Every structure is written in structure tokens, then in C-alpha cells.
Chain A
């Protein structure tokens, strides 16, 4: 038992005081100390003992007595002990100030501490321990620079002052200069190897901070060897173990934490780490207990933040988001700077997301991102929120960065793909495909939805085969495979086939479609539709409906298939089935409205569209558009136009279109509608601008089919007399949208040619139209008119050939025959012409035919004359030729004769020569034969030359003709414009002369929305 002996004054006796049994009241001790005038160091000893036993009041009482002015006076020569007492008090208040959280109290404590140290300094300015105390006070106040100065003063004086060394080490450590701190700790240890274990702790902490975990742990372990109960060392060593990732060591680390907890249940660090451990074991009550204990035990902000974080995390996993949010927020509230501990911000963001507070979540995540701009998870979270807020561009930036940071993050690719779907099919597809590849590479299951999305995007990009593959992969094997690949023949009946499927099921064939695959199967059916494999599409839709009768879209598609085959009643039936399943199905209602328009059920259609608007609170673009169209039809439909009614309907239509545009600025159909209304009012230039813009937009969009705008533009050009452009529009429209099968557009085209007075083109276009729409007799009437026009125009030309006149007569006869045939058709009014009209045209043609006879005679006469002239010329030419030939012949004859004569002479000469030779008696005959051959040559040569002449003249004349004919046709071409201008003028006169001027004036609006017949002759 440790005892302290107080020497009794002036005796050799001592009062023995057992330290374990100090009197409860310090006054007792003080009385003895004062009475016996005990040395001051004893005062300090007792005070320290009280302090150790936690009796702070007694501790203070003794020290304050010990530093009172009387003591100063009495013990004035005992410098060191007086300083020691003052320094102890200084240290005490320094510590109080250090742990105090309230700034005012904190400052007061520090002031008192400063006062004590100053007093100590006054006793001896050079006392090192005072300086050390002052240094520690500065460290506590956070004034590290000054502290460093102070410790330096000490160390300058006493290089081996351990306390100053430790103080300086502390300053360096807190300044983040761990290397320097380490050096100082080492030095302190060298000087004072028996120093308390905690010095080695400093060593360990430095090492740990320097990342030298092995050495750090050695240091901690050494501390523990010296002092098995050193909690900090246990915790330090434990943390290193826990962070090692080695399972055994984690276990060991945990044991150390537990040991620390056993020794000192108030060590927050240990508590937090234990809590963390139990968190991962899902033992949430333990987490709660431990963190609460930790919170109670510490004032250290970081540790508190950590504790709150643990607690929040625990609630977070238990999906108690409100509580989680509260504790995450508590955690962040402890922190001065998010930099110190970022995790609660991330957690808070997550919880806010769960709670649907997008804004708060974004704020939290953005804080994280400020510090960790490359953190993939946070980038994704922020991207996700931005996407949700509709800030797509920004969202995409974040996802792009996330995928750059971690190109293997499947989620990031997926979400990026989804963001891109609405704007950029190709990029979206790329994203999805990257995700797909990543999943496959890591041999993970590819989600059905991803495959479906890939399929849909391929579909949108018109890459049907790739789409099919994706769907196939998503669907796997099933009855659908047999249908889709044509292994099972497809039945034809459109609706009632439950029997078929039931019989298949009776045979034990499974027709089950898992719920998650229904949409994919539907998409596959859509794909077959796109490939025009309607049989397969239809059977798949029906299969879906057999198993999932609530899948209304399948009814609608079947309805659309029936409608495409003009089976309106079946189509209506199917749409009604969809409505039976859900009478608020806006899409089904829209389809029904359209069908009602098609069957001329105007009032019903209007009601249907209005009911859609009721369901959607007046905010359905489609229904509004349909009603706009409805009003437009109503305005232009009537046989007899009532101008006032027409105007109101048009106005209504425009209002509705405008409303749609107000809701959706890029709605092409509404824009087109407005263009139509404006055109109807004669504002062609404005409507043309609108149509042109819509056309540009529609051309750039694969998903939009808008033939109307092409037609409308054509109408505008036609109305403005730009026939070439109008023709181009109509032709493009026919080709692009109708496979050249739409006779209505051909009719517009014919009208164009008619207006341009291109009768033959007009006729040919109309013939094609008749071929496409054989039962449309109006077209025949129009053809007859075109032929009549052609003939009239030809016959009234000032200059025409007999052939032209003959053709005109021929066409007139055809026209007459057509008029005659049409006269035999029943129900003429239905077709748009009547007996009177036919008779009139027939009469006119006959009249013209009669007139044509004269023309024909005149033309034929002219032709005859021309022919005669030509004949004369030809004969003249022939005679000349004959003469030339005769001349030539004669010349040749002469030539021949001359040559013959020459030859003869030659021969004679030769004979003579022969004779002479013979006479000369030379030996060979060779010369003679040679000469004989020579003699032949002159005969041949001219012949050859003649042939050559012939050959060379032929190309010449060809060349001339060749040159001539282009020149001729050039003339023709040059002629054409002037001639046609002349023709035009003359024709107008002809028309005004003609009695059916009124007949011929094309009437009716040129602007048609859809399916409004506009016959050239429709008046």
C-alpha cells in the first residue's frame, strides 16, 4: 500500500497517509499540510492523487490553496514547487478548454490556464516545464505555429527535454507533418526509453498516417506489451487489422475492438468500429446500442459524425428512410467541412432519392461530387436525378463521365441508353449494346428488358433482322418460336380462335407466356407486321390475348391489321373488345373515332373524340387534332357550301390545331393542319412555309409518315401555277408512301398537267389512274376530256402536220367512244357526271370531228403538196444523180476506151518488142510475163480507187446527216417554248370561243387534307 509521509514540524515524526484512503474532505489534508508546513511537493502529490481518483474538486482545492498569495510568501524561496503547482493548474484548465465544446467556456478555461502559466513564468522565466505547458495550451487552442515556436524555445535550451519533444511531435502530427513527428517521437524514446507506453502510441499513429501499417501495428503491439490496457493502441491496432481485408485479421481486429470496449466502454472509436461490424452482420439493435454509447462518450466531432453515420446507415438498410435521413443529417451537422467525412452526404442523397426529394438528393450528391468529381456512383446518381428533372443534356454529361471513369459499369450504360432513347436511337442502341456485351462477358444474366430495348431500337432504326434476333434471345424457346419461324402454320381466322389454342393445349402443348415476356412477344409481332408477315403477327397477337386477355394493345393491333385489309366491321369489333377490357383506353377510343370517320359516322366520331378529351381533362393532343380535322372536314365536306358555316368550322379547326401546338410545339400534324386552314383561306405563301417546314421535319423522322404534307405542298404549287414543282411533289409522294398505287394523287397529277395544258401527259396519268381504280368512271370522263382538249388544241394550231391532225381526229374518236360508253353507265350522278354533260361533250366532239375533216383535208392537201414538192425535188435530185452517174459512166467508158487503146498500143509495142527480142535472140521469157503483169495494173487501180471513193463518201454523208439532225432537233427545241406560248394564247382564245368554257374551268379547292376527291372536272 502506497503511503505518503508528512513530516511533522520540528520533530522526526511523520504523519502517514495511505493514498488509497485519502480523507474524503481535502480540508483535512490541507490542515495537516498547513499546520506542519509540509514541503510544497507533497501538496502536489496529494492533489495529483485526488485527481487520479477523479476527485477534481479536492484536487483543485489543494492546488488553489497551494498557489495562494500566502503560500507564495511563505514558500517564496521554493521556486520549483510553486511553479509545478501553477503548471498543474494550467495543464488542468488547458485540458478543460480542450474538451469544452462551448466557445465561451472554452475561452474562459484557456484564459485561466494562460493566467496560471503566466504566473509561473513570473516566478522563473526560464523554467522549461512552464514553456512546455504554454506550448500545450497553444496546441489545445489550435495555434500550432506559436506552439511550435514555444517548444522550440525549450528545445533550444534543452535539446533533450522529452516533454517539449513530445509537444513538438504533437504539433508536427497535427500539422500533418507525420515524418517530422515520427522523428521527434523516436528521439524522445531514445532519450527516455522508459517513457510511458503512450509515447510509442504516437509513434504508431505516425506510422499509420504515413501508411506504414506494419510498422504502425508493431508500435501499437509494443504499447500493448507494455500496457495491455492501452485502449488507443488496441483500437489503432484493431483498425489496421480491420482494414487489412484479411478475414482472420479482421476477426483479430474485431477482438481487439471488443477488448478495448471491455477495458474502456467509453472509447467511441472502438464503439464505432464495433457498431460498423455489427452493421455488416445486420445486427441492428447492437449497432444502435453501440453508437448511442459512442455518442455519449465523445465530443470529438469526427467520431460523432461517424457514430451518427453508423446509426443512419442502420436505419437506411432497414428502409426506415425518415430516421436514416435524420441521422445522416445529424452526421453532416457535426462536420465543419464535408471533406472530413463525405459518406453521410452520399447516404443522405440516397435516402432523399428514396423519399422522392429530388432536389435535396441532388444537393447532397453534388456536395460529394465537388470533392470527388470522378466518383462513378455519385456521377450516376446525379445523372439519374438530372434525367428525372428533365435536364437531359446535363444528365447525359454525367453518365458519359461515369462511363469514362468506369467503362465497365453496366448500370451507367443502361441508364444512359434509356436517356438517349427519346432523342438518339443510334447512341441509345450503342449504350445498350455495351451494357449487353459487358453482362455477357461477365457471364451474368442479361435482363429481358435490356434485350427488349435493344430489339425496339433496332426496330426503330429499321434494322429488322437485328431486332428479331434480340427479341428471340429475350423470349427463348416457346410456342411462339414455332409460329415466328414458320414451323407451325398460321391459321387465318381473325378473331375467334380460342378453339385452336385450346385444342393445342389439350394436346399438351404449353402456351404459357410469362408475364415479363408478353411485351417482348408483342414487339416481335409488331416486327412481323413490319416485315408484312401479317399472318405471323396476327397469330402472335391472338396467342397473347388467349393468355392475357387484358393486353389491350394486341386487340388494337389486330384491329389495325383488319383495317389495313379494309375489314372495317372486324376492326371495329376488335377495338370494342379492347374498350371492353378498359373503357378508358384512350388509344382504343382514338382508333374507334378514326373508324367512325372512315364509315362516315360523323357525329359518333365527334362524340368519341370528345370523350377522350374528357378522360384526359382536355389535354389529349391526338383527340384535339382529330377534332380539328373533324371540323376541317365539316367545313369542306358539304356539297353546297355555306360560307358562314365553313368559316366557323375552319376557325374551330384552327383553334384546335393551335391548342395542340401550344401543348406540343413540334407537333407536325397540328402544324400541317394550320397550314391547311391557311391555304383554305388563300394564304398560300404562309401555308407553303409551314408545309415546307413540316416536310423537312417529317423527312428527318423515320417514325413519321406524313404523305399529306407532300400533297398539300403540291396543291399549293399547283394553285400558284408552279406546275413543275407540283408534279414533283405529287410524284415523290406517290413513290415514297404509296408504292405508286394511289389513284387520287394521280388525279392531282393529272390536274397539274391539265392546268399546264399538257394534254398527252394528262391523258397518260389518267390512264394509269383508271388502271388502278377501274371502277372510278369519273377518271374515264376526265380522260375523254383530256383527249378532247388535245384535239381542240391541235386543230386550232396555226401550223400542224397532217399526222398531228390525224392523231387529233383519232383522239376525238376515242373521246367520243368514251362519252358514248359512259352514257351507258347507270347511276351516273354517283360518279359525278350526268347525261346532259355527256351529251354536250359528245356533241362537241362530233362537231369538232366534222370540223376536223376540213382541217384534215387541208392538212392532207398541204401534205400532198409538200409531198409533191418533195417528190419533184427528189426526182430532180435523182435525175441529177442519174446524170452524174451517166457522166461518170461515160467518163469511165472513155477512160476504159482510152486505156484499152493504150493497152492495145502497149501490146502492139510489146509484140513489137517481143519480135525485136526474138530478133535479139535473148534467152528468157521472164521479162515478158513481168511486163504482162505490169500491163494489168492500170486496169485494177482505178477500180480500187472507185471503191474507196464510195467508202469515203458514205461516212461523209453520214456525218452530214448526223450533223444535220441535231441541228434540226435543236431548231425544234428552240421552237418549243415560243410555240407553246403561242399555243397557250391561241388556246385561250379557243376556249373562250368554245361553248363549254364554264365546263372546262376547273373548280374546287386545290388544297386537300386527305381523301377529298378533286377531279379536274369536278364543278
Chain B
């Protein structure tokens, strides 16, 4: 289990890169890497050489998140202006533009079946769930201020409740996890539209979280407290805490077979963690600034080995072979 650097594209964007996601392959083309930058553009990259396929404009203010539909044909990008732009990957035709004022739009994820798009709503303290056929707002799941106010945390002074930063779907599409500025992670039953419970352990912003592809209940969270937590989302148990990063952990992604996770951090490194050993087994130092996103390419592309991409404020993209 290791990653080998394949390629580093310096100056991939004109400014720091904040978001990355893989668009699955379609019949007509292999998978593409989508990146979003504070330079207000979204770019698509092809192959191991990371040739720039296209540059999408249209966002104002920095692009904070990109997400690809599991079907591989459409993708969404969002920026600090709070618009979600859904576009056709191959033609760049705008499918729709979503907004749910006063909600902002932070991280997004399509559900595994591709029927819904969950968007973290920031200060609205909610997750907005959009129907991907009608593009209508289907649900708004709110993270309450505090469960019976007895979670022992310092009261949120700004009175905003839980500022929602990130979202993650479980593999079976039943549960949605969302992370907040104060470290609370909320688990929802999407079918019932209800909050199941919250997970404790972090007290700082959790900027990224992901469910294990191998287990519907194993959830990984990346936190500003320099730790990655591994939870059992069903029992609320904190299974393990991974330490080793020297600064905020900004991003986490699970490998397609579920044996490893990769994390990106403000300490400029990408780390690979072995879930069996529960230890960091590799630290990659290709980047020279904060690593804002890491993303494993989904499996089933007919290729023998996996790919991992990382993007950074240093304006570069790194591609690794994951074996």
C-alpha cells in the first residue's frame, strides 16, 4: 500500500486551488479530474499527463467546491458567491444554477445513485438537498444548535448554531453526514429527513468528511485540530484518532477498496493511512503550501492501479499512482 508521484502540474491555476473531484469515465472518455480555484475558474484534466481539457469560467469569487455526478456526465461547482453551477462535463453547457439564499454553498456531494445533490449550507446551519432531475430543492436538513444544550461545549457565542461546512453520503445513500465549524458531526436519515444523532470528539472546524466505501457506517472526519477521526456512525463510537499532521487537516478521502485513507493538510503534506494498522504509512511532500483537497479516482475504470490527486494553495496539482 503506497502512492507514487506521477506528475505535478505547477501553475495549474492562476491562484490557489481549493477543490478537486474525479468525474467517472463514460463510454466516450476516461475519467477526468475537476479542479476549482480562487482564480474563479474550474478546470478539467485528462489522463496521467493531466492535460488541461477545458477551463470553465462563470464563477465570481473563489471556487470552493466541485462535485461530479456518479454517471460522469454532469458536475457541479460552487464558489464564495454561493451559486451552485451544474454543468455538462463534456460540453460545459450550464445545466442549471442553484441558490438557496441566504444559505451559502460549501462542500457538495452527489448521492451514490446520483438522484440527489447535497450542498453544505454554511451559516444557514443546514444541508440543502436538490433533486438532480427536477433541480428542485427537495429537503433542507438543519443541524440544531445544541442537543439539549448539555454537550459541554462552550456556547456558540455568535448564536449561529452549527455552521455547516461539509457533507458526505454513506455508500448505501441512506445516511448523510455533515460537519460543522464547532466540530460537531451530524448524521441524518435522509429518507426520513431526520437527524439521527451527532458525533462528538472534535471541537474545531471539520472541513472534510467521507464515508468508507467498504462500510456504510464508518466515517472519517478531517479537523482543524490536526486529527482525523474514525467513527462508527451508527454507535456514535469514536473508533480511532489519527495524529501526525502538524497543522489543520483540510481534506480526507477514502480509497475505493476502503483499505486506506488519504489526507491533505495545512502542513503542506499529503498522508496515506493504513486503516488496518491505524497508522500513517506515507507522507508526501510534493506541495509547497496548504493542501486543500485530496481525491481518489473511483475504481472500475478498467485500469490496473488507482489514482490519487491532491491540489494546493501552491497552484499545483499532484497526481499519484495508488497501489
A interface residues (Cβ-Cβ under 8 A, vs B): 486, 489-490, 492, 531-536, 564-569, 599, 738-741, 764, 767-768, 770-771, 774-775, 777, 780, 783, 810, 814, 817-818, 820-821, 824-827, 830-831
B241 within 8 A of A: yes
Q: Mark B191-225, 1 if CB is under 8 A from A, else 0.
A: 00000000001111100000000000000000011
Number of interface residues of B (CB under 8 A): 56
Residues of A within 8 A of B157 (CB): 830
* A775 with B163: CB separation less than 8 A: yes
Docked complex Cα distance between A684 and B157 (Å): 35
B165 within 8 A of A: yes
Docked complex Cα distance between A818 and B61 (Å): 11
Among residues of A, the one whose C-beta sits closest to the C-beta of B203 is A566
Docked complex Cα distance between A549 and B117 (Å): 52
* A565 with B203: CB separation less than 8 A: yes
Q: Contact partner of B248 among A741, A814, A831, CB < 8 A?
A: A741
Docked complex Cα distance between A1010 and B184 (Å): 27
If the complex has contacts A768-B16, A771-B64, A817-B81, are A830 and B154 also in contact, measured as CB distance less than 8 A? no
* A740 with B102: CB separation less than 8 A: no
Instruction: Find the residue from A738, A777, A821 having the highest chain B CB count within 10 A.
Output: A821
* B16 with A775: CB separation less than 8 A: no
* A535 with B242: CB separation less than 8 A: yes
Q: Contact partner of A532 among B154, B226, B290, CB < 8 A?
A: B226
> Nearest chain B CB to A927's CB is how many angstroms away?
61
Docked complex Cα distance between A740 and B247 (Å): 10
> Nearest chain B CB to A637's CB is how many angstroms away?
15
* B204 with A827: CB separation less than 8 A: no
B267 within 8 A of A: yes
B289 within 8 A of A: yes
* B159 with A827: CB separation less than 8 A: yes
Further contacts, 8 of them, CB under 8 A, given A568-B154, A824-B101, A825-B102: A489-B278, A534-B226, A738-B247, A740-B313, A767-B80, A768-B62, A775-B122, A821-B101
> Nearest chain A CB to B9's CB is how many angstroms away?
21
> Nearest chain A CB to B285's CB is how many angstroms away?
13
* A533 with B158: CB separation less than 8 A: no
B183 within 8 A of A: yes
Docked complex Cα distance between A827 and B123 (Å): 11
* A740 with B122: CB separation less than 8 A: no
* A775 with B123: CB separation less than 8 A: yes
Q: Contact partner of B290 among A486, A739, A770, A824, CB < 8 A?
A: A739
Docked complex Cα distance between A567 and B242 (Å): 17
5 contacts between A and B (CB under 8 A): A490-B241, A492-B241, A566-B225, A783-B80, A821-B104
Top 6 A-B pairs, shortest CB-CB distance? A824-B102, A739-B247, A565-B225, A566-B203, A739-B266, A534-B243
> Nearest chain B CB to A599's CB is how many angstroms away?
7
* A567 with B203: CB separation less than 8 A: yes
Among residues of A, the one whose C-beta sits closest to the C-beta of B79 is A767
Residues of A within 8 A of B190 (CB): none
B296 within 8 A of A: no
> Nearest chain A CB to B60's CB is how many angstroms away?
5
> Nearest chain B CB to A100's CB is how many angstroms away?
86
B320 within 8 A of A: no
* B123 with A569: CB separation less than 8 A: no
B10 within 8 A of A: no
* B290 with A777: CB separation less than 8 A: no
Residues of B within 8 A of A489 (CB): 240, 278
B1 within 8 A of A: no
Instruction: Find the residue from B61, B81, B204, B226 having the highest chain A CB count within 10 A.
Output: B61
Among residues of B, the one whose C-beta sits closest to the C-beta of A775 is B163
* B225 with A739: CB separation less than 8 A: no
> Nearest chain B CB to A1018's CB is how many angstroms away?
16
Residues of B within 8 A of A492 (CB): 201, 238, 240-241
Which residues between 278 and 322 of chain B lie within 8 Å of chain A, taking CB atoms?
Answer: 278-279, 289-290, 313
B188 within 8 A of A: no
If the complex has contacts A486-B279, A532-B226, are A814 and B81 also in contact, measured as CB distance less than 8 A? yes
B259 within 8 A of A: no
Among residues of A, the one whose C-beta sits closest to the C-beta of B240 is A492
Docked complex Cα distance between A817 and B106 (Å): 17
> Nearest chain B CB to A126's CB is how many angstroms away?
106
Docked complex Cα distance between A652 and B141 (Å): 52
Which residues between 59 and 81 of chain B lie within 8 Å of chain A, taking CB atoms?
Answer: 60-62, 64, 80-81
Among residues of A, the one whose C-beta sits closest to the C-beta of B290 is A740
If the complex has contacts A566-B225, A821-B82, are A764 and B38 also in contact, measured as CB distance less than 8 A? yes
Residues of A within 8 A of B101 (CB): 820-821, 824
> Nearest chain B CB to A825's CB is how many angstroms away?
6
> Nearest chain A CB to B130's CB is how many angstroms away?
19
Docked complex Cα distance between A768 and B290 (Å): 12
If the complex has contacts A764-B15, A821-B102, are A774 and B122 also in contact, measured as CB distance less than 8 A? yes
* B268 with A739: CB separation less than 8 A: yes
Q: Contact partner of B226 among A564, A764, A771, A810, CB < 8 A?
A: A564
Residues of B within 8 A of A825 (CB): 102, 123
Docked complex Cα distance between A961 and B267 (Å): 45
* B123 with A777: CB separation less than 8 A: yes
Residues of A within 8 A of B159 (CB): 826-827, 830
Residues of A within 8 A of B81 (CB): 814, 817-818
Residues of B within 8 A of A827 (CB): 158-160
Docked complex Cα distance between A861 and B205 (Å): 51
If the complex has contacts A532-B243, A533-B244, A535-B242, are A771 and B18 also in contact, measured as CB distance less than 8 A? yes
* A534 with B158: CB separation less than 8 A: no
Docked complex Cα distance between A817 and B82 (Å): 10
Docked complex Cα distance between A774 and B80 (Å): 9
Docked complex Cα distance between A861 and B152 (Å): 64
B227 within 8 A of A: yes
Among residues of B, the one whose C-beta sits closest to the C-beta of A534 is B243
> Nearest chain B CB to A819's CB is how many angstroms away?
12
* B160 with A775: CB separation less than 8 A: yes
Residues of A within 8 A of B150 (CB): none
B245 within 8 A of A: yes
If the complex has contacts A492-B241, A739-B248, are A775 and B225 also in contact, measured as CB distance less than 8 A? no
Docked complex Cα distance between A1010 and B268 (Å): 25
* B61 with A767: CB separation less than 8 A: yes
If the complex has contacts A783-B61, A817-B81, A821-B82, are A532 and B102 also in contact, measured as CB distance less than 8 A? no
Docked complex Cα distance between A818 and B106 (Å): 16
* B61 with A740: CB separation less than 8 A: no
Docked complex Cα distance between A599 and B155 (Å): 11
Residues of B within 8 A of A770 (CB): 62, 80
Residues of A within 8 A of B201 (CB): 492
Residues of A within 8 A of B82 (CB): 821
> Nearest chain B CB to A767's CB is how many angstroms away?
5
> Nearest chain B CB to A484's CB is how many angstroms away?
12
Among residues of A, the one whose C-beta sits closest to the C-beta of B289 is A740
> Nearest chain A CB to B261's CB is how many angstroms away?
16
Docked complex Cα distance between A567 and B80 (Å): 30
Docked complex Cα distance between A738 and B61 (Å): 24
Residues of A within 8 A of B313 (CB): 740, 768
Docked complex Cα distance between A818 and B83 (Å): 12
Residues of B within 8 A of A824 (CB): 101-102
> Nearest chain B CB to A834's CB is how many angstroms away?
15
If the complex has contacts A565-B204, A739-B267, A741-B266, are A774 and B226 also in contact, measured as CB distance less than 8 A? no
Docked complex Cα distance between A490 and B202 (Å): 17
B246 within 8 A of A: yes
Docked complex Cα distance between A825 and B227 (Å): 31
Instruction: Find the residue from A564, A565, A569, A827 having the highest chain B CB count within 10 A.
Output: A565
* B158 with A831: CB separation less than 8 A: yes
Residues of B within 8 A of A533 (CB): 243-244
Docked complex Cα distance between A741 and B246 (Å): 12
Docked complex Cα distance between A77 and B285 (Å): 122
Among residues of B, the one whose C-beta sits closest to the C-beta of A779 is B80
> Nearest chain A CB to B198's CB is how many angstroms away?
16
* A739 with B106: CB separation less than 8 A: no
Residues of A within 8 A of B38 (CB): 764, 767-768, 771
Among residues of B, the one whose C-beta sits closest to the C-beta of A537 is B243
